[in-house]
Structures are given as C-alpha cells and as structure tokens.
Structure 1
Amino acid sequence: MVSTVPTLDVELNGEAVHDIDAPDAFATDGPFPVVLDNAGRSTHVHLHFDDELDRVTAVDEVNHFVADEGTRHVHVSIADVDEPVRGKLKIVTGYGSNTRYVDVRIEPSDETPDEPVAVDETLSAPPERSPDPPPAQRAVNALDRLVRRGGVAGAVLGFLAVAAGVALALAVDSVVVWLAVGLALMVAFGAALLAVA
C-alpha cells in the first residue's frame, strides 16, 4: 500500500514549446495534487482521466492556465475503493499539439475505518444540577456581571439620581414628589435586575 501522499509532478515547456515531461506511472491510495510546473511561456493544459479512473476521481476543472514560468496545483479527489483501479491520465498542451499519458493506479486506503464509539448509559442521563450559590455569592456575581457589561457609570448615575430625588422629596414634603421618587426607584431597580440577568 502507498503510505505517503504522493505528488504527480508534470514539467511543461522544458525541452521545447508544449513539451510535457511526466512519469510513466503513478500510484496513490488517496487524494493527490497534480503539480503543473511551467519552465517556459504561458500555456493551457487539459487533464482527462479515462473511464475507469473517471469513476473514482474528481477534479474541479479539467482546463488549466499556467503562467510564464509558473506553477499550478490541481487537486484530485479520490473515492474509496475496495480493490485497485487502473487507468490513464491524459495530459494535453498547446490545444492538442502535444499529449502525454500517465498510467495511474488507485489503491484501497490502508487506513482503518473508525470504530463505533460505545456509549455509557451514564452519558444519556441528564447532568446533575449544581446547587445554587449562597445569597452573598449571588450578589457578588451580579455585581461582577454589571461591571463587565460597563454598567458602573449607569449604576453611579442611577444612585445619584435616586439620592437627589429622595433629598428633593424630603425638602418639598409633597405626595406627588414622593410618588415620583418611588416610581424612579422601581425603574432603577428593574433596570439593575435587567442589567445583571
């Protein structure tokens, strides 16, 4: 079996214009790149797997442009096979002016399939609920959430507004002012509860 991820290296325009230098044979047991390495002027390359290989391989595109002295990587996906599949990869340059064939063999992967995971019955039981923290800890947690949400300035302003309202109610001694202060206290308390929830 093939153990490493091989690369099918193809040199273009090495000896002459539209020249293709590729190995005679190539074997793999998984996805692989076809590396088109251009030694000359820009060129177009067409890749075609014959019928046998076409059933187990896939490429996003079959026509590729390779820039002047550039390199292009073409990813070839492979389906799982139970027995070796053999066929030919046809490499064409210069719009058909030059063609090269590579004998390709796809081997079954030697990776073992994932074993099913045994599930313990305790995993299906709902998690135990942790006990509620004591009131003092809840107050500290609420204050911490308020501070993390940036509510310190709001809390200080709210406290100052309530203190000013109480002072005004004491100075004026009016039922309407006391009702307004009570309403302000309820709104401030509700806002504080929403901020820490």
Structure 2
Amino acid sequence: MTTDDADRGDDLVDDGEDGSPADRTKEELRRTRERLGEGADKAVKGFDDNVVDLLAWLLDTETRARIYVYLRENPRSTSDEVADGTGLYPSTVREALAELHDEGTVSRGKREADGAGNNPYEYEAIAPSELVRGVVGDVQAELNAVFNLDRRLGGESAEGDDEPVQISVAGADGNGDGETDPSGDDADGENAADDGDTDR
C-alpha cells in the first residue's frame, strides 16, 4: 500500500470531523483534479521539451529554438522582451536574432512609439511550415544521394541521378503553396513524368 493509498483510505474513514459523505466526496474530487492537473502539466512540459529539441535540430541550437518558440507565441517582441521571456542573456538574444534575421527565419521592423527616443526593433518568426520548407531541399538532396550511392560508387556521374525522394510541405491550410519547384513537381508533389512506381 502506497502513501497515497493510505491517505485516500484515511480520507474515506469517517472520524466525525470531516463532515458529511458529500463533503468527503467533494474533497476526493478536488484531490483527483489536482493529481490530474499535475499529470497534464508534466505531459505539456514533455511535449514542449520535445518540440524545442526538434526545433534545435532545425535551427542549429536550443537557444535559437527557444527564441523562435517565444516569438511564435509573442509576435512583435523586442530583443529585451525575448530575453525576459526566455531567461536568456540579452546579448545572446541580440546575436541570435541578428543571425535568424539574416537567414530569413525572423522578420523585424521598428516599433512605433510616441515621443522622442530610440524605437527598438520588434521581431516576428516565420510560420513553422515555412521553416520546414527551408530545410526540405537539403534533406531531400541528402536522401537522394544515399539512394543513388550505388551509381556513384560505380563511377557514374552524379548528373542525371534519379530523384526517388521528393518531399512537399503543405501550409497550415493543408494545401501546398501552389508553386512549382525546380525539379518540375507541382504543388501536390507529383512529377509530370512520374513513372507511378511509388506513392509520394
């Protein structure tokens, strides 16, 4: 019997001080809600940690991932607000924001302010689907290099390699962006000369 079981058993024993059975039931429901809430908080934290880990892979560092997540939740934030919200050093945040802006992962604009003084930049992060589109080409090229390894090891030219892997990313609305990519694929990821061997 665990300590929690003993506590619950003690709660259910009528010692004359706890009141009516209805009061005891309400107290048990309250404790159950607290335990469920604690479990939900742990699950959400675990999910958040996994998202940050994935974004750290996409964005190179956990620091950049934390800044990205903060800006998705709090668009139009200044570097000082990002530093306060993430607990990162202001100089680290400024440096990371400058890199993310140069890469096109965040956009920035001057904050409108009344009166004299320096108007700081406010930052917004691009949508996750755009972030993924940015790395899809690199991942696709690396996967295709692996698929065509036998041809390359046989001394044949890398030119003319088939591209068995084609990755398309749908936007938040579930549709492709409607643009044709350089490989000749349409937004649905289907090649006009598709041989029908695989379902992509």
TM-score (normalised: structure 2): 0.20
Q: Greater Rg, structure 1 or structure 2?
A: 1
Higher percent of residues as strand: 1
Of Structure 1 and Structure 2, the greater helix share is in 2
Q: Scaled by the length of structure 1, what TM-score is found?
A: 0.20
Higher relative contact order (CA 8 A, sep 6+): 1
